Amino acid sequence: MRFLIILFFLYNFSLAWAQEIETVPKKEKPAVNSNTNAAPSQKPSFESEEIQQSADRELKKDEATSKNATAISVKLNQLGAQFKQVELQSNVMRTQRTPTVTQQKLLNDAVKNLEDLNSKSFEYNFYKYVSGNHNTSWFSNLAAAEKLEPKNNEVQAQLASYYLIMKNETQALNYLKKLVSSGKLGSEPIALSHDLLQSVAQNGVLVTHGADDTYACVYTQMKDKLRQDVVIVSLELLQSETYRKSLTGKGYQMPSAKVIDVNYLTQFCQLNQAKNISISMTLPKEYLTPLKSRLYTVGLLFEYHTDSFDNYSMNDFLWNKKFNKDLIKNAKSNEGKELSANYLPMLLILQEYYGKIGEKESLNKVNEAIDLVAKQSNKQEIVKKLTKSD
């Protein structure tokens, strides 16, 4: 393009110069011998050669720049993939939410390499924030990532978490709605969250595990104004010092440890046993094992009690008066069918309860629900063993 512009300029300039010459009175030319064989003298065009050489240099420079940009882009993608692989390994651990020391080092190393490649890239800014485990002081990196890819679901999820930590409900709900619109937050986890929230005792605490159960419950709580008396405590967000300080400000006692793991939850329950603590059934069983002697099934959760607790009447009340049971009746995806299995512990308790008090009609309805849920969640064999019907 630069080469064409230069030629265009020279062409226009030569026209103007020719026009200017034509305004000068012509002088008589000396006579030329028509018989001469001498060829007219020709002046070499050095300007055109220089222009072509300059254009060639620019073309080679552009090609080199393009190749370098492509190589950097490939490397950014590779490092991003490495980061996500380690992050996934961290997220699926069954005994702690905080990355291990080794995992954290791998995450930090990947981020440093991304910074060296391109500190203004989406990959660097986004993974820099993620590597901080909800470190709110690194928000500028998350904001930069959003500016580069505003429709990225992972960015929107991190922003939802950030604003939950910062107690900005308006912005948190805004990003949660985006996750719902994009399908990142599905309708079936939201359907389950309704009955999960209804299961919590008045002014109680609901402990959640990861993003899906936390986002679904918070979304339902905010959008539908349902059970706003419930305090949702996310093990995922507890990695944030800002989040822990916020809970301390609400009167909760927090363990001194910084690693969010099985021991952390046990200590949290012991320190706050007067707070009506409930634990979502979505937590891995490893978190529940140390507490099992103090956990009682109530609806879709486990209530923490230091004394004996009669949960039959409460389950009867929830099942018949509070639950909408949408996920039992309308589960369509595999995820929804698997999530419906969370109803089974309560249903098996009601089965025993109605059998003892002779409530045949209620017992029949519960048996139908057990059969439906067991079949769609592929838990028939487990149910048979628990009911000793095999």
Q: For position 245, what pLDDT does the model report?
A: 97
Residue 38 pLDDT exceeds 70:
no
| pLDDT-derived band at 15, boundaries 50, 70, 90 | very low
Sequence-distant contacts of 20-25: CB under 8 A, at least 24 apart: none
The answer to whether residues 288 and 302 touch, using CB atoms and an 8 Å cutoff, is: yes
Read off the pLDDT of residues 211-265 as tens digits, 9 standing for 90 and up: 889 999 999 999 999 999 999 999 999 999 999 999 999 999 999 999 999 999 9
Region 7-35 average pLDDT = 40
8 Å CB contact between 89 and 106: no
Q: Which helix (H) or strand (E) holds 312?
A: helix 312-317
The pLDDT assigned to 60 comes to: 62
Task: Identify the H or E element spanning 379.
Answer: none
What is the predicted pLDDT for the residue at 189? 95
pLDDT of 111 higher than 70: yes
Q: Which pLDDT belongs to residue 44?
A: 53
What sign has the CA pseudo-torsion 319, 321, 327, 330? Answer: positive
The whole-number average pLDDT for the span 2-12 is 35
Which of 347, 343, 342 has its CA nearest to residue 362? 347
320 Cβ neighbours under 8 A, 6+ residues apart = 362
pLDDT at position 246: 97
Query: How confident is the model at residue 19, as a pLDDT?
Result: 37
**Overall average pLDDT of the 138-162 stretch:** 98
DSSP 293: G
Q: How confident is the model at residue 6 (pLDDT cuts 50, 70, 90)?
A: very low
What pLDDT is recorded for position 101? 97
Report, as an integer, the average pLDDT of 278-298.
Answer: 96
pLDDT at 198: 98
19 vs 57, which has greater pLDDT?
A: 57
| pLDDT given for residue 265 in this prediction | 98
Amino acid at 321: K
Tokens coding 12: 């226009």
pLDDT band at residue 16 under the 50/70/90 scheme: very low
How many DSSP H helices and E strands does the chain contain?
18, 5
Read off the pLDDT of residues 170-202 as tens digits, 9 standing for 90 and up: 999 999 999 999 999 999 999 999 999 999 999
Residue located via tokens 């399908």:
183
Q: How much is the pTM? A: 0.81
Question: Across residues 116-139, what is the average pLDDT?
Answer: 97
Q: How far is CA 226 from CA 1, 59, 127, 218, 230, in A?
A: 62, 63, 34, 9, 9
- Six-digit token string for 165: 């930590």
In the chain the first and final C-alpha atoms are separated, in Å, by 81
**The pair of three-digit structure tokens given for residue 2, joined into one six-digit string:** 């630069």
What whole-number distance in Å separates Cα of residue 162 and Cα of residue 169? 10
Q: Fill in the amino acid letter for 263.
A: N
pLDDT in tens, 292-326: 999 999 999 999 999 999 999 999 999 999 999 99
At 46 the pLDDT is 61
Give the span between the Cα atoms of 23 and 312, in whole angstroms. 111
Distance CA 60, CA 56 (A): 6
- Contact between 206 and 229 under an 8 Å Cβ cutoff? The reply is no
Residues 6+ apart with CB under 8 A from 85: none
**CA dihedral angle for residue 222, residue 224, residue 228, residue 234, rounded to 10 degrees:** -50
Please give the pLDDT value at position 30.
47
Q: How many CB atoms lie within 10 A of CB 78?
A: 13
Residue 47's pLDDT is 66
- Residue 241's pLDDT is what? 97
Q: pLDDT above 90 covers what percent of the chain?
A: 78
